[in-house]
Chains A and B, each alone.
Chain A
């Protein structure tokens, strides 16, 4: 069964500093990987996704993630944090032919001015 591990429920980052959120997955077949962002009292918005092809994926708001099969990882980064990046971030995995998503526990990002 597919699963996702996100470590560190709360992540504090200074404004202008690198944002790094780690995601490791488990899947028996090649995975589809997603990062979603959630602002308070809102639904989830897709940041980026990996299905096939280029392993470095660029998303919205300056975020990017790299799929590393050997490490079963899909870490999310942004070079310079902005105050508006304060939100909850979820990594999720699914598999071709199975559209159920398995979510990680999420990372609450706090941006310090």
Chain B
């Protein structure tokens, strides 16, 4: 399967600052990447779908001005949490999407980024 990396793996920041999280597809070109948020002991919540070279599609209830997504190349997507607040503290996971044989819509997940806002 494909390898997806995320950087940083964890970050602590002060309230009001912005934090950028990178998601890289290391060994294949990902035209679509997904960003998820996961609260403790809960499932993954899809935040947005990003397609290379176009604007991201945000899920209902996700503030696009607060969670800026850029997918400038086939191997890199970034999520910027702007003016972070303690309630934004969470585990953020990205994935690369595939379609067709042999992956059949399988998503390859990054290791996640733990964000703590003080």
Contact = CB atoms under 8 A, between A and B. Distances in A.
Interface residues on B, range: 20 to 34
Interface residues of A, number: 26
Interface stretch (A21-29, A65-73, A101-109): A101-109
B77 to A, nearest CB: 15
A104 B43 contact: yes
A99 B105 contact: yes
A43 B105 contact: no
Given A49-B106, A99-B107, A41 B91 contact: yes
Interface in A76-108: 90, 94-101, 103-106, 108
B44 interface: yes
Contacts of B98: 99
B114 A41 contact: yes
A49 B112 contact: no
B113 to A, nearest CB: 10
Contact of A90 (B34, B44, B95, B110): B44
Interface string A46-73: 1001010000000000000000000000
A32 B107 CA distance: 12
